[in-house]
Amino acid sequence: MKKVISLFAACLLLVGMMAFAGFSASAATPKEDIVAAVKAAMPDKYEDQYLPMLENVLSQIDVTAEQAETVIGYIDTVKAAIKADKGASLSEYSKEEVAVVLDNFDKACTTLGLTYEFVDAEDPDHEGDVDCIIYLEEGTKIGSVDGDGVKKTGAPETNTALMVVFGAFVVVAAGAAVYGKKLLASR
Partner 1 sequence: MMKRVFTALRKSPFYKGFFLLLPYVLAVAVIFSGVILVYQEVVSTSEYYRVFTGNADTTAGERPSTPPGEVVPDKGHIPVIPFESQWATLNVDGWEERDIPVYFGDSKAILKKGAGMWFNSRFCGQGGKTVLSAHVTRHFYEIEDTVVGTRITMDTVYGQYVYEVSEIKIFSYKDSSLIKQDGSQNTLVMYTCYPRKNGYQTKAERMALVCTMVSGKEWATYG
Q: Which residues bind partner 1 (CB under 8 A)?
A: 9, 28-32, 34-36, 39, 48-56, 58-67, 112-113, 122-123, 125, 136, 138, 140-146, 148-156, 158-160, 162-163, 165-166, 169-170, 172-173, 176-177, 179-180, 183-184
CB nearer to partner 1: give 58 or 100.
58
- Provide, rounded to whole angstroms, the least separation between the CB of residue 90 and partner 1: 17
CB nearer to partner 1: give 26 or 95.
26
For residue 82, give the DSSP letter: -
CB nearer to partner 1: give 36 or 75.
36
By CB atoms closer than 10 A (0-12, 13-18, 19+), residue 53 is buried
CB nearer to partner 1: give 62 or 117.
62
Cβ neighbours for 151, distance < 8 A, ≥ 6 positions apart = 123
118, 130 contact by CB (below 8 A):
yes
CB nearer to partner 1: give 95 or 187.
187
Cα distance between residue 70 and residue 76, in whole Å? 10
- Provide, rounded to whole angstroms, the least separation between the CB of residue 132 and partner 1: 10
- Provide, rounded to whole angstroms, the least separation between the CB of residue 163 and partner 1: 7
| DSSP H or E run through 133 | strand 130-136
Buried b (16+ CB within 10 A) or exposed e, 1-23: eebbbbbbbbbbbbbbbbbeeeb
Degrees to nearest 5, angle at CA 61 with 57 and 66: 110
- Provide, rounded to whole angstroms, the least separation between the CB of residue 105 and partner 1: 17
- Provide, rounded to whole angstroms, the least separation between the CB of residue 125 and partner 1: 6
